[in-house]
Structure 1
Amino acid sequence: MAEDKPGFFSEMFAPVGGFGVTFATMFKKVKTVEYPEVKRPTQPRFHGRHQLNRYPDGLEKCVGCELCAWACPADAILVEGADNDDTPGGTGRFSAGERYGRVYQINYLRCIFCGLCIEACPTRALTMTNFYELAGYNRADLIFTKEQLLAPLQAGMDEPPHPMAEGLSERDYYLGKVEGGAK
């Protein structure tokens, strides 16, 4: 009588089938990584935190053109350019160009890490690093300023503002003919 109903056995063993899946996965090796104690390496072209680069003598590559801000689809970048002032008593020279980025901010609450800002930069001043740990408890801490984004000074670099290398022009800087600063 019970055997006349269609699907009698399938209905009877349906709850047991769910336990079968659970039982089968209980003995598989876990693929969990113990983050943050064990960190997996990123790929070489991973899009992480941005970095503002410098020339070998320490001058900034950013010329304050604002193309990165225009290219950003998330409107996460704020750039305010200013003129370099080499006159006596002036602010000095921060970049090899006529201008420099006086204010530079990236809002990581809005950034989607697409890399369009990197492609738009004419001087390769902006690149992306492999650093990906960008979390915080305060919203203001996730708006990075120019000081936080600038590449650290390496050996042989001078702290800007300072004049361009003797005998070199703006074009020479862009062609990579500049060497380390005064020692």
Structure 2
Amino acid sequence: MADPLGLAGLGVTFKTMFTKPVTEQYPEERTPTAERYHGRHQLNRYADGLERCIGCELCAWACPADAIYVEGADNGDEPGQRFSPGERYGSVYQINYLRCIGCGLCIEACPTRALTMTGVYELADTERVDLIYDKDRLLAPLPAGAEAPPHAMRPGTTAGDYYRGEVDE
């Protein structure tokens, strides 16, 4: 039978009228994001500070929104001129967050796990140009005791040792 007076709706109103409101204290108290949340990207490093990105451009090819731009370059011939353990590294790396849809296909395409997504979700800015993140804003901080690239690989190691995860602290 229909409720011609709308008493069912009034019941909901009265029930919620006397409950305590839920107030979030953002930005002072930030709630943690879900473990699988896709936030801002991060370019990872090895334990000795070398970059994981080998400039293969697979992330850019996988991006359906064309938000990633990568230029690969060759590492130097001398041992102290290496940015990554392989033959190449990403000399230019940009992500345009005006285009990024947060799908994570770039993460799946990366063969060295150089690119991951963090839980950082605050990507608002006042200027559009500031939402194009360059390599310096995307790189993970140096691990404790690591040297900033370019530098040589650890003595006695090969690029394969890095890729297999045998180079750690």
TM-score by length of 2: 0.89
Q: Distance in 1 between matches of 2:15 and 2:165?
A: 61
Q: Distance in 2 between matches of 1:134 and 1:123?
A: 26
Partner of 1:149: 138
Structure 1 range deviating more: 25-34 or 41-50: 25-34
- 1:1-183 alignment runs, 5 A limit: 10=4, 13=5, 22-87=13-78, 92-180=81-169
Equivalent position SS for 2:60? helix
Q: Distance in 1 between matches of 2:127 and 2:71?
A: 25
Identity, % of aligned pairs? 67
Aligned pair count reads: 168
Structure 1 unaligned residues grouped into runs of 5+:
1-8
Equivalent position SS for 1:79? strand
Q: Deviation at 1:103?
A: 0.4
Q: Which amino acid aligns with 2:93?
A: Y
Q: Deviation at 1:23?
A: 4.3
Could you report, residue by residue, the CA deviation over 1:121-168 in whole angstroms, capped at 9, with x for unpaired residues?
000000111111111111111111100000111212111001111111
Could you report, residue by residue, the CA deviation over 1:16-65 in whole angstroms, capped at 9, with x for unpaired residues?
88766544432233223121122111122221111101111111000000
Q: Distance in 2 between matches of 1:38 and 1:156?
A: 32
Q: Distance in 1 between matches of 2:36 and 2:8?
A: 45
Q: Distance in 2 between matches of 1:169 and 1:17?
A: 72
**Kept in 2: contact 1:94–1:162 (CA 8 A):** yes
User: Over aligned residues, Cα RMSD in angstroms?
Assistant: 2.3
**Kept in 2: contact 1:61–1:123 (CA 8 A):** yes
**Kept in 1: contact 2:48–2:143 (CA 8 A):** no
Q: Which amino acid aligns with 1:174?
A: Y
Equivalent position SS for 1:100? strand
Structure 1 range deviating more: 38-47 or 19-28: 19-28
**Kept in 2: contact 1:86–1:163 (CA 8 A):** no
TM-score by length of 1: 0.82
